[in-house]
Homo-oligomer: A and B are copies of this chain.
């Protein structure tokens, strides 16, 4: 492929400028494709089991881990990495399904809490085995203990930096 040598040179130049070496570019591409492919499989598992999609689980998990099973909308949006409007609609759907309810914040008239209902808690418990099976099958099975530890640390730093905390 002689026509790519010029292109390759251009790439290498940009790598230096942007401090992005080839190893990191490949790692990034592996990250986005692995994520897309694994999520697609796991979503399919949930769908086939007649369960709600992944995004619902994330919300239910964050709420059940929060003190009083409640979070302010903006905290929840941050936790699940969604825009405020996206979260507002997602909470609409969960509320309509009875899995959570909105409650005004008595200390801040602008804000409201999303509060997990018992039904939401039960749904999370129903979803978890299917989700866990998907993670184990499409992710865990291909990653060693040591690799999992490295992923956790490195991606934890990426997450914290990008989320701004």
Interface on A for B, CB 8 Å cutoff?
1, 7, 10-11, 14-15, 17-21, 23-28, 30-41, 58, 64, 67, 81, 125, 128-129, 132-133, 135-136, 138-145, 147-159, 161-163
Contacts and interface: CB of A to CB of B under 8 A. Distances in A.
Contacts of A64: 7
24 contacts: A1-B67, A7-B64, A14-B129, A15-B132, A17-B129, A18-B129, A18-B136, A20-B140, A23-B149, A24-B140, A24-B143, A27-B139, A28-B140, A30-B151, A31-B151, A34-B158, A37-B81, A138-B158, A138-B162, A142-B158, A143-B154, A143-B158, A147-B154, A150-B150
Interface of A is mostly: helix
A66 B18 CA distance: 25
A147 to B, nearest CB: 4
Contacts of A36: 81
A53 to B, nearest CB: 13
A136 B19 contact: yes
A7 B60 CA distance: 14
B157 A143 contact: yes
Contacts of A140: 19-21, 24, 28
Given A32-B35, A35-B31, A148-B27, A40 B132 contact: no
A146 to B, nearest CB: 8
Contacts of A17: 129
Contacts of A25: 132, 135
